[in-house]
Amino acid sequence: NAGVMQNPRHLVRRRGQEARLRCSPMKGHSHVYWYRQLPEEGLKFMVYLQKENIIDESGMPKERFSAEFPKEGPSILRIQQVVRGDSAAYFCASSPTGTTYNSPLHFGNGTRLTVT
């Protein structure tokens, strides 16, 4: 059973370009979470999605960032017009249910975005 798959592992973008990060959850998991780890900072929640629905986007910057989890295919985190401050590691996690009382979140290896 493959774990949470994220691609690409490393992504380099110039300022003003778009970045698209992909996450395929574990098999049987329909809940996806995106977290961001800025240099020298802890992991911060960005957004929680179920298939075709955004449940909680309270951690997403209001502009330039969007996320989706379509009925078919991976979840996508999209950053438009990237700036240097977007350089970070972006992690995706999945769970089989929305409440993780007794079910740990499973994390992918992350996508490291560098904006030049």
Site residues (vs another protein, CB under 8 A): 4, 6, 31, 33, 35, 41-45, 48, 55-56, 58-59, 91, 93, 95, 98-110, 112
CB 35 within 8 A of CB 95: no
How far apart are alpha carbons 12 and 44 in whole angstroms? Answer: 21
Least gap, CB of 78 to another protein (angstroms): 20
Q: How far is the CB of 54 from another protein (least distance, A)?
A: 11
Task: Report cis status (omega within 30 of 0) of the bond before 25.
Answer: no
Distances (CA, A) of 105 to 12, 35, 71, 91, 97: 28, 12, 21, 12, 10
Cα–Cα distance measured from residue 13 to residue 80, given in angstroms and rounded to the nearest whole number: 11
Minimum CB–partner distance for residue 12 and another protein (Å): 15
Which residue bears the tokens 């499973």?
Answer: 106
Kindly state the smallest distance separating residue 16's Cβ from another protein, in Å. Answer: 27
